[in-house]
Amino acid sequence: MMKTALITGANKGIGLATAQQLLDAGYFVYIGSRDIAKGEEAVAMLGHANTAVVQLDVTDTHSILAARELIGRSTTQLDVLINNAGISGGFPQAPATVPVQMIRDVFETNFFGVIQVTQAFMDLLQKSPQPRIVNVTSGLASLTLHSDPSWVYYSFKGAAYGPSKTALNAYTLSLAYELRETNFKVNAVDPGYTATDFNHHSGPGTVENAAALLVRFATLGADGPTGKYFSNDRNGETSPW
């Protein structure tokens, strides 16, 4: 039986590159896209029969449930969920003056959106013999590194984006613990500072390299780690929380 994967925010950038690599690995990939037209363009760009676009806005409960119903009609199980959709909220995000609504908006996508999608698809994931959840996080989520003046990104502080990913890491850790006696592998993975639309293509990393790290944890074997935080900025090894 062909394995299946759902990637949120997969119509461009790291999500699209991850879809390509999972297709190459023999998976059927659902391209989650807030804008259905952009998702269809991504599917056309991939040019592969084993892919389909799913309208999915992680901040919209109705959209999430509709996506779950659609995917549930075409497959009996979901093997991989990659929670990739995310927003920065824009910078600067000075803690003393940042609009609280910006923080709420960023958390709605980067934190609450992940939880809603994960819970909606949990039943399909539970039917997989080796379910994998990859929560795409950031190096800016690490409180340990943010406390180290020698860290290269020490000055990149903000009240919305980084904290939303710190919260996501905490959720990842808790979910992995809850599922520890099952075949689930749940990890937080930081693709590193990658050149995408997200950062106006200012990052030094490539989407192909970023995607390779996500795919590595999406395809873990039975002896793979769970409840960990990995980063491309640390050569794909564990990052301090």
Q: Which residues are catalytic?
A: 161, 165
User: Tokens 């950031």 label which residue?
Assistant: 138
DSSP line for 185-216 = EEEEEE--SB-SGGGTT--SB-HHHHHHHHHH
* Sheet strand arrangement including 51-55: 51-55, 28-33, 4-7, 80-83, 132-136, 185-190, 229-231, 237-238
Please state, in angstroms and as integers, the Cα–Cα distance from residue 56 to each residue in 35, 69, 119, following that order.
8, 12, 14
- Helices and strands, counts by H and E, the chain: 8, 8
Chain center to CA of 105: 17
- Give residue for tokens 């639309």: 197
Q: Measured between alpha carbons, how far is 3 from 199 in angstroms, rounded to an integer?
A: 32
Tokens 């999915």, located at residue: 56
Q: Evaluate whether 31 touches 37 at the Cβ level (below 8 Å).
A: no
Name the amino acid, one letter, at 200: H
Question: Two tokens at 51?
Answer: 């892919």
